A and B are shown apart, each in its own frame.
Chain A
């Protein structure tokens, strides 16, 4: 069963490019969202297996979303933070976050997602 993915990013071009790539790599992008409210709603409705959350959501913060998703009992869905920046730029915040891990947008791939989800208990 293919991995069901929710993409959360405020950049439409990225949502499109990422969806196309992940689909090619065998991930089903069940939905996209570009704000915290939209993401929480989609997550509840779609029950995705993984949620990719951009750290910078315009005026909102991806870290906040990750925390809200955890509080919202989306335990089943692994939350992975993504950013155009480097992991090292955010490492402390990522460590504190309930998210399962971090992926750089430039190297986003199905394999990268699986690797993070697999090492998550």
Chain B
């Protein structure tokens, strides 16, 4: 408030006594201040308060010009309100540089009230020139300080010759305080409103994120919200890609303007531009002067999009740099100083949306992977030939991993090499192609280490050789291979290559799920072919046995009987003729018949001993032992009846073992035992002979192995030289006859 008694140089009007005039002036001033204060208290928009203040001030000080300037970034000021006859020639809302000598510049530089009398002669600069045009001669300006910062200046100017009264500065100060309060209130209200608006925008985006909206929609929504909220001309969301590339993934342009580079556009990082600065430093970056930008992004921003001021803020997803959000003005203005801070609240939301989308994508990928694995597993279970499975799996992994090509390789051990046994449709290489291992082949590493391996382009960009050359020609940037291990043997590898992006980390582990299935398919196929071979051997052994039986019957017993028949007829002839010695013939015939009978007995016992089917394994083994030429110690602790195939198999193993001991081992003693162990019948035959029996030789035992294995059992032969021979057969009682495969 003004001190009473402050003089007014121009004196009162109409000859009132000076204190009367002062009192009137004071009352007028108080009324003006009260009116403005009321407006401020009513939360009138600042623009209205500004207009009221300049008018009140102008009338109160009886001047021709009252102006309120707001200071702007970059040493500029904008007139936000002006009053007075002289104001008509003054442009409002024009931003002018703070240069030369004038009140705005003086107050800006000193932060204190200032005065210029004789304005016409002692002012300069654009503001000075504009004010001078209005004919102002004396002017006083007072700073408007809002919460400690210089916000603007209010000044009054008179066209009269005499200077404004000396108390003008002090009186004006009361109004600047009111203006400051109005601005502070308005700013905090605006800040509140903006915060509310920002929160609403954030909430709308958050709802989208929570609803699992596809990320591209979320990104588009973020771009639009940010664009509207910050009132910029462009918002662009940019993802950073490997190898210094970036991709536009979303954007927004102020009404009616499309994105010059649509989503999906890719650029190479580098040069001086906001994207490169932001991504390289991991910090917000700003370019306000688009005169010295460089790089392909910079050129596009400056020329294609017409950027004049832009700000970028980095976005990290789960701790990893993901990309940035960029806003820009195309108008000739600088983005407000708080742009970086305001963008920051959206980057977290974008990060969450991306992270959610990624985890959903990971789930989807997992589901897809499971489906692919299930399809392959079905093929495996159906016993589809591995060759067909190999190509099917190659196509599945190409689809699943977004790889360019895939192949199943079988390792060849005669001169290390990989043979392509299955290829994806995208791989134009005939099945059967053989590649020697070369540096740069992931499969060569698998061959060496038996573990999954990865070769990225940068690891061998300088490698030489045909593989490296072919890979460069095909643009292969990454290649991953996982081993196929079939029952402990390194069988081969599955290999995938990509041409656009690096195969993502972790692919090795996922690929191994497929190689495990392939290993199962291969093992199944191998055991199927082993089974088929065993069946063929069983059939062949059976054919051979029949042939032997036929020949033995024909050559032995039948011949003997035929000869005996002839002898009988000879005897008959002799009896009829009454000559010779028929009795001797008859005696020989009788002896011959007895031999033939014994032969037949032996023979039928060989085919199937009656005692085995009549009395079981224990008695049959005892009979074998009794008849053996080499003494046998027999211990039977499992003397019951067992399934016929088990009894027959055990009997033949015992019979063959005894025969071998007798014929080949030169044994003097044989120990034979039959016992039960864990649901299996265990037959053991051990001799004290010379040992050294070769399981590969002697088809007798090989045939028996097939027979025993067909029952799910096993035969073991231990026959070190000079250590005797020990044959054991393990026959599960709950056997399952091998079923037909395929």
Contacts and interface: CB of A to CB of B under 8 A. Distances in A.
Decide whether A and B are members of one complex.
yes
Interface of A: 11, 13-14, 16-18, 20-21, 24-25, 56, 84-85, 105-106, 108-109
Contact of A105 (B562, B567, B580): B562
Chain B interface SS verdict (over half):
helix
B567 A17 contact: yes
Contacts of A16: 563
Nearest to A16: B563
A24 B563 contact: no
A24 B570 contact: yes
B550 to A, nearest CB: 10
A84 B560 CA distance: 10
Among A14, A24, A25: residue with most chain B CB under 10 A = A24
B560 A13 contact: yes
A14 B574 contact: no
18 contacts: A11-B555, A13-B559, A14-B562, A14-B563, A14-B566, A17-B566, A17-B567, A18-B563, A20-B566, A20-B567, A21-B569, A21-B573, A24-B577, A25-B573, A84-B558, A85-B554, A85-B558, A106-B566
Interface residues of B, number: 18
Given A24-B573, A25-B573, A56 B566 contact: no
A17 B569 CA distance: 9
A85 B551 CA distance: 11
Contacts of A14: 559, 562-563, 566
B564 interface: yes
B560 A21 contact: no
B570 A11 contact: no
5 interchain residue pairs of minimum CB distance: A17-B566, A17-B563, A24-B573, A105-B562, A13-B563
Contact of A21 (B555, B559, B570, B592): B570
A85 B553 CA distance: 11
Contacts of B562: 14, 84, 105-106
Interface string B550-590: 00001100111011111101100110010010000000000
Contacts of A84: 554, 558-559, 562
Contacts, number: 49
Contacts of A56: 554-555
Interface of B: 554-555, 558-560, 562-567, 569-570, 573-574, 577, 580, 592
Contacts of B592: 13
Contact of A18 (B566, B574, B580): B566
A84 B574 CA distance: 24
A21 B566 contact: yes
B564 A17 contact: yes
A109 B558 CA distance: 18
Given A14-B559, A56-B555, 16 more contacts: A11-B563, A13-B559, A14-B563, A14-B566, A16-B563, A17-B567, A18-B563, A21-B566, A21-B570, A24-B580, A25-B573, A84-B559, A85-B554, A106-B562, A106-B566, A109-B569
Nearest to B553: A84
A89 to B, nearest CB: 10
Contacts of A85: 554, 558
A18 B562 CA distance: 10
B563, B565, B574, B592 pick with most chain A CB within 10 angstroms:
B563
Contacts of B577: 24
